[in-house]
């Protein structure tokens, strides 16, 4: 009878350790506040409740931004400032045993598990441009992430950091 009691204690202890270890890798939502992007320069704000992104904006030189393929005749030459005036929802994406937070669509058919969403960008040079966008935060460092934008024929992939 004494051996059975020891076995139960060992099993319960092993189960508790596994449950704590699994909970320790759960990611945090991106922190609230301002984020900046580099190349193209820009930024956005994560809302206080950490459920949406507002004020997404960025600027680039059509044809000269190093991380882009800006050769589209749809956009004017020179500096362009683009903005998204609406809130963009932050959702969870699950990939390969980990969870990260994204703005976009969660899809297993892409290499990073994220599909861009359609967007209309307001241009400071006048008018609008149709395109797509996505954002994702590093699952183990939610103050950092990446983005992807296609505006006209320009594809850009800036890094994202909490200010």
Whether the CB-CB separation of 121 and 83 falls below 8 Å is answered with yes
What's the rounded mean pLDDT across residues 28-55?
Answer: 94
Has this prediction a pTM greater than 0.75?
yes
> What pLDDT was estimated at residue 85?
85
- Check residue 63 and report its DSSP letter: T
56-91, pLDDT tens digit by residue?
999 888 766 555 566 667 777 778 889 998 999 999
- Check residue 159 and report its DSSP letter: E
Whether the CB-CB separation of 37 and 158 falls below 8 Å is answered with yes
User: Residue 100 pLDDT > 90, yes or no?
Assistant: no
Q: What percent of the chain has pLDDT over 90?
A: 36
85 or 49: whose pLDDT is higher? Answer: 49
Q: Which tokens go with 1?
A: 């009878």
pLDDT level of residue 107 (50, 70, 90 thresholds): confident
> What pLDDT was estimated at residue 60?
84
Q: Which tokens go with 51?
A: 């459920």
List the beta bridge partners of residue 37: 42, 160
> What pLDDT was estimated at residue 69?
60
Average pLDDT over the chain reads: 79
Whether the CB-CB separation of 90 and 17 falls below 8 Å is answered with no
**Lowest mean pLDDT: which of 11-15, 23-27, 39-43, 142-146?**
11-15
What's the rounded mean pLDDT across residues 32-58?
Answer: 95
Residue range 28-162 in CATH 1.10.10: no
| Residue 147 to residue 69: CA distance in whole angstroms | 15
Most confident residue range from 49-53, 81-85, 140-144: 49-53
């Amino acid at each position: 009878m004494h051996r059975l009691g020891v076995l139960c204690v060992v099993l319960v202890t092993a189960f508790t350790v596994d449950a704590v270890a699994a909970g320790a890798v759960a990611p945090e939502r991106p922190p609230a506040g301002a984020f900046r992007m580099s190349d193209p320069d820009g930024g956005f704000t994560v809302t206080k409740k950490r459920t949406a992104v507002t004020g997404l904006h960025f600027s680039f030189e059509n044809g000269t931004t190093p991380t882009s393929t800006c050769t589209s005749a749809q956009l004017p030459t020179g500096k362009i400032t683009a903005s998204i005036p609406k809130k963009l929802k932050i959702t969870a994406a699950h990939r390969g045993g980990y969870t990260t937070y994204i703005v976009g669509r969660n899809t297993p058919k892409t290499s990073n598990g994220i599909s861009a969403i359609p967007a209309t960008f307001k241009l400071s040079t006048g008018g609008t441009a149709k395109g797509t966008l996505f954002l994702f935060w590093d699952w183990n460092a939610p103050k950092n992430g990446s983005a992807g934008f296609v505006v006209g024929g320009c594809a850009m992939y800036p890094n994202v950091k909490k200010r």
